[in-house]
Amino acid sequence: MVRGAAIIAWVAMASAPLLAHASGIDTVGAYAGTWETHIAHFKTTYSKPRSESATLRNVCWRSAGYFACDQFVDGLSKTLIVFTYDKQRNTYHTYAVPTDGSAATSGTLLISGNTWIYPWQDKDGKKTVYLRVVNTFIKADIIRFRQEFSFDKRHWTIASAGTERRLR
């Protein structure tokens, strides 16, 4: 149900006015750098209580219509994340390729001001479960994030929440 490293990977994003100089695919440049991450997981249907911390280093580059980041978690390369941008729909698409050879995943990124939302859905038996990661930039170098799930897209349960701080 939870996308593991992909969840950690998608928690460091921003938008105008914090990155007023960036637009389109360049906006995801906010991802570059080294981040200290602290996450609290809560007891829910899909999560168990625990805490974790990690150092994320995103080595990023732009090539024509793509923006990519090789994400290192505590010094080990874990995921290559490729972003594309659909200007007509003002929507970003993400493709996470794990280094362990397991299947790549894809998703959508919706940006509204300093809030970036990664929505997706899954099945639990016959029930559809809606999930999302919500990132809010407090400052250009501080992100508050949470992972939530819902069965109706109106009532959301927080499964985890945390903060990221850019170190460099």
**Gap between the Cα atoms of 80 and 146, Å rounded:** 22
- Give the total residue count for the chain: 168
Domain enclosing residue 128, as ranges? 5-166
Q: How confident is the model at residue 24, as a pLDDT?
A: 87
65: Cβ contacts below 8 Å, ≥ 6 apart: 25, 84, 85
Asked if the model's pLDDT at residue 3 lies above 80, the reply is no
Asked if the model's pLDDT at residue 73 lies above 90, the reply is yes
Asked if the model's pLDDT at residue 2 lies above 80, the reply is no
**Gap between the Cα atoms of 9 and 143, Å rounded:** 13
Asked if the model's pLDDT at residue 132 lies above 80, the reply is yes
Helix (H) or strand (E) holding 6: helix 5-9
Q: Provide mean pLDDT across the span 126-135.
A: 96
The CATH number assigned to the domain holding 64 equals 2.40.128.20
pLDDT, averaged across the chain: 88
Q: How confident is the model at residue 8, as a pLDDT?
A: 42
| Banded pLDDT at 168 (limits 50, 70, 90) | confident
**Gap between the Cα atoms of 91 and 118, Å rounded:** 11
Residue 118 in 3-state DSSP? strand
Kindly report, residue by residue over 139-150, the tens digit of the pLDDT. 989 999 999 999
Asked if the model's pLDDT at residue 29 lies above 70, the reply is yes
| Tally of domains within the chain | 1
Bridge partners (DSSP) listed for residue 139: 142
